[in-house]
Amino acid sequence: MKQFYRGLLPVCLLGAGVAQAQAPTPPLPARVTISGYVRDQATGENLIGVAVVQAGTSLGTATNTYGFYSLTLPTAGLDSVRLVANYLGYERQRWAAPATGSARHDFGLPAAANELAGVEVVGDRQAYDHGPRSTRMGTINVPIAQIKSLPKLMGETDVLKVLQLLPGVQSGGEGTSGLYVRGGSPDQNLILLDGTPVYNASHLFGFFSVFNADALNNVELIKGGFPARYGGRLSSVLDISMKEGNAQELHGEGAISLIASRITLEGPIKKDVASFIVSARRTYLDVLARPFIKSQLKKEGKAGSLGYYFYDLNAKLNWKVGTRDRLYLSAYRGYDNFYYDERNAQERPDDYSRSDNSLGWGNLTGALRWNHVVNDKLFLNTHLTYSQYQFDVSQEQERRYVQNSQPLASTNALSYRSDIRDWTLKMDFDYVPSPRHYVRFGGQFIRHTFRPGISSQQDNTAGVVSEAASGSRTLGSESGLYVEDDYQLSNRLKVNAGLRLSSFYVDSKLYPSLEPRLAARFMLTDEWALKASYARTTQYVHLLTNSGIGLPTDLWVPATAQVRPQVAHQVGLGVARTLRYRGEAFEFSFETYYKPMQNLVEYREGASFLNTTNNDWQSKVTSGRGWAYGGEFFLQKKTGRTTGWLGYTLAWSNRRFPELNQGRTFPYKYDRRHDISLVVIHKFSPTLTLSGTWVYGTGNATTLASSRFQLGPYQDYSDYGDRNSFRMAAYHRFDLDLSKTKKKRWGEVVNSISIYNVYNRRNPYYLYFAPADVFNGVVRTPAQYRQVSLFPIIPSVSKAFKF
pLDDT above 70 for 587: yes
Domain assignment of residue 23, yes or no? no
pLDDT above 50 for 705: yes
Same domain flag for 73 and 208: no
Which pLDDT value is given to residue 788? 85
Same domain flag for 71 and 203: no
Same domain flag for 724 and 764: yes
Which pLDDT value is given to residue 411? 83
Which residue in 11, 450, 39 sits closest to 244, CA to CA?
A: 39
**Average pLDDT over every residue of 652-675:** 91
The DSSP secondary structure of 188-244, one letter per residue, reads GEEEEETTEE-S--EEGGGTEES--GGGEEEEEEE-SS--TT--S-SSEEEEEEE--
Beta strands 31-40; 107-109: pairing state: parallel
Q: What sign has the CA pseudo-torsion 742, 743, 744, 746?
A: positive
Burial 616-649 (b: 16+ CB within 10 A, else e): ebeebbbbbebbbbbbbbbbbbbbeeebbbbbbb
Q: Domain of 99?
A: 28-113
| SS3 call for 91 | coil
Here the CATH number for the domain that contains residue 417 is 2.40.170.20
Same domain flag for 318 and 397: yes
Domain boundary among 83, 113, 143: 113
The torsion angle over the Cα atoms of residues 549, 593, 674 and 789, rounded to 10 degrees, is 0
Q: In terms of DSSP H, where are the helices of 583-734?
A: none
pLDDT above 70 for 122: no
Same domain flag for 316 and 369: yes
Domain boundary among 113, 143, 168: 113
Q: How far, in Å, CA of 739 to CA of 736, rounded?
A: 10
Which residue in 319, 310, 315 sits closest to 331, CA to CA?
A: 315
In terms of Cβ atoms closer than 10 Å to its own Cβ (0-12, 13-18, 19+), residue 468 is: exposed
Which pLDDT value is given to residue 714? 59
Same domain flag for 88 and 140: no
For 552, list phi and psi in degrees, rounded to 5. -70, -10
Same domain flag for 612 and 492: yes
- At 93-102, the pLDDT tens digits run 899 888 788 8
Domain boundary among 113, 144, 162: 113
Local confidence band at 463 (pLDDT 50, 70, 90 cut-offs): low
Which pLDDT value is given to residue 384? 96
In terms of Cβ atoms closer than 10 Å to its own Cβ (0-12, 13-18, 19+), residue 407 is: exposed
Same domain flag for 490 and 585: yes
Same domain flag for 109 and 139: no
Beta strands 378-403; 352-375: pairing state: antiparallel
Domain assignment of residue 16, yes or no? no
Same domain flag for 106 and 138: no
Q: How far, in Å, CA of 119 to CA of 122, rounded?
A: 9
Q: How far, in Å, CA of 587 to CA of 136, rounded?
A: 14
For 295, list phi and psi in degrees, rounded to 5. -65, -40
**Average pLDDT over every residue of 736-750:** 92
Which residue in 494, 590, 574 sits closest to 531, CA to CA?
A: 574
Local confidence band at 469 (pLDDT 50, 70, 90 cut-offs): low
For the chain, how big is the Rg over CA atoms in Å? 31
Q: How far, in Å, CA of 670 to CA of 653, rounded?
A: 8
Which pLDDT value is given to residue 465? 54
**Total tally of structural domains belonging to the chain:** 2
Which pLDDT value is given to residue 1? 44
Local confidence band at 784 (pLDDT 50, 70, 90 cut-offs): confident
Q: How far, in Å, CA of 158 to CA of 257, rounded?
A: 13
Which pLDDT value is given to residue 269? 94
